[in-house]
Amino acid sequence: MFSQKFLTRPLRYLAHSSRVQFAEHRYTPNAALWFSSSRCRGNTTQTAPEGSPALVKPIRKPWTHRPWFTTLDPTRLSPSDFCDISGVQLARPLPTMPSGKEMAFEYTSFGGPRTSFPPHTHGFFYYIPAPTDDIGELRFRITPDNNPEGFARGHDLLLPSGIPWVVRSIFFSTQHAEGLCEVLLRDGLVTPAAVAAARARNIRTARRAISALNQPFPINLINHSWVVTVVSGPKVSKAIVMCIRGQRTGPFFSGSALCCFERSTLPIHAGRRVLVVRLLELVTPLVQVAPLPADCAMDTPRVGELLTTRGRPVAVDVDRGSRCSQTLRLLWKDP
């Protein structure tokens, strides 16, 4: 568990310096978390001398002690919990664990180049409970200043696709989330049973894992199939989704994208439990690498639309007997 000094230590913003530097602290070996000298950097464009090519160099933000917050309960926030992660590529709000594991939040990557958090990304990390006994999710509320009273008037950080930036419940099943679980347990935001269940899943990475419909997952459009990890309670299963082109044809496009499964409301699927795939966002540009044959089953992927082959949506009937159908059936929760 945390030491009292760790839990109550206020966040301190110091004057601007040329780099982010976390002061190194050492507690007793019994401390649950240790401070380290890890760095957190954000990129921006600097003006080059006249007549020379434009240069893009990282500008480091003022260094602050970790942890950056003392609570994730939106009803107990204080000015010291205010964080500014504008321009940061990897946000590391908690110290490195004694095991060497370190929690780092990205704005978005999903197989593409790492992207910095947008300008004016300042506010509060906070926790949203799950409707079930499982662990909920973490979000970032953007506010104009460090006054917690402005929390209700703020708005959640969004991804370029318009969906909220979240640290999903699946992340808490990875070893990197140990410190975050300690904060939630201490504040009574989760139960020990929920944390134990999350740790029992022992997921190596949460990047390709989903636990509900409409959650984004990455795909590479140059592949004819992709693997999605589905988490439902203590069960962790993998589905291989065959999509958009045959294994012996193509590839016709390159590029990476974010997609999601959603319930089909199309007339052709009436009376059946069918999932379709919607393309939410292109992470890297879509590039046609070969001409599309006249009889090709693959249609050009378009942001905001369903993935289709020969004009028909890519669909999975979750009541079929295939392994993919059985795995994706875990996502279908009747209201």
Q: What is the mean pLDDT of residues 107-126?
A: 82
What is the structure's pLDDT at 276? Answer: 95
CA 45 to chain centre: 25
Beta bridge partners of 105: 91
Which pTM value belongs to this model?
Answer: 0.60
Using only the alpha carbons of the chain, give its radius of gyration. 22
Report yes or no: 292 and 298 within 8 Å, Cβ to Cβ.
yes
Closest-CA residue to 259 (of 315, 216, 202, 320):
216
Report yes or no: 60 and 35 within 8 Å, Cβ to Cβ.
no
Residue type, position 269, single letter: H
| Confidence check: pLDDT of 37 > 70 | no
Q: At what angle do helices 178-186 and 192-201 cross, to 10 degrees?
A: 170
Determine how many CB atoms are found less than 10 A away from the CB of residue 292.
16
Measured distance CA(278)–CA(83) in Å, rounded: 33
Contacts of 106 (CB under 8 A, 6+ apart): 89, 90, 91, 114, 115
What is the structure's pLDDT at 8? Answer: 39
Measured distance CA(241)–CA(260) in Å, rounded: 12
Q: What six digits make up the tokens of 80?
A: 């010291």
Closest-CA residue to 269 (of 307, 212, 301, 315):
315
Report residue 144's pLDDT band, with 50, 70 and 90 as the boundaries.
very high
Which H or E run includes 142? strand 137-142
What is the structure's pLDDT at 31? Answer: 27
Q: What six digits make up the tokens of 162?
A: 């318009």
Domain range list for the chain: 4-203, 217-331
What is the structure's pLDDT at 2? Answer: 44
Task: Write the pLDDT tens digit of every residue in 148-192.
Answer: 999 999 999 998 777 888 887 777 777 677 888 888 999 999 988
| Confidence check: pLDDT of 19 > 60 | no
Report residue 143's pLDDT band, with 50, 70 and 90 as the boundaries.
very high
| Confidence check: pLDDT of 7 > 60 | no
Place of tokens 């939040």: 105
Mean pLDDT of the chain: 74
What is the structure's pLDDT at 197? Answer: 80
Question: What percent of the chain lies above the pLDDT cut of 70?
Answer: 69
Task: Write the pLDDT tens digit of every residue in 64-92.
Answer: 555 788 899 999 999 989 999 999 888 88
| Confidence check: pLDDT of 40 > 50 | no
Q: What is the mean pLDDT of residues 188-213?
A: 77
Exposed/middle/buried for residue 73 (C-beta within 10 Å: 0-12, 13-18, 19+): middle
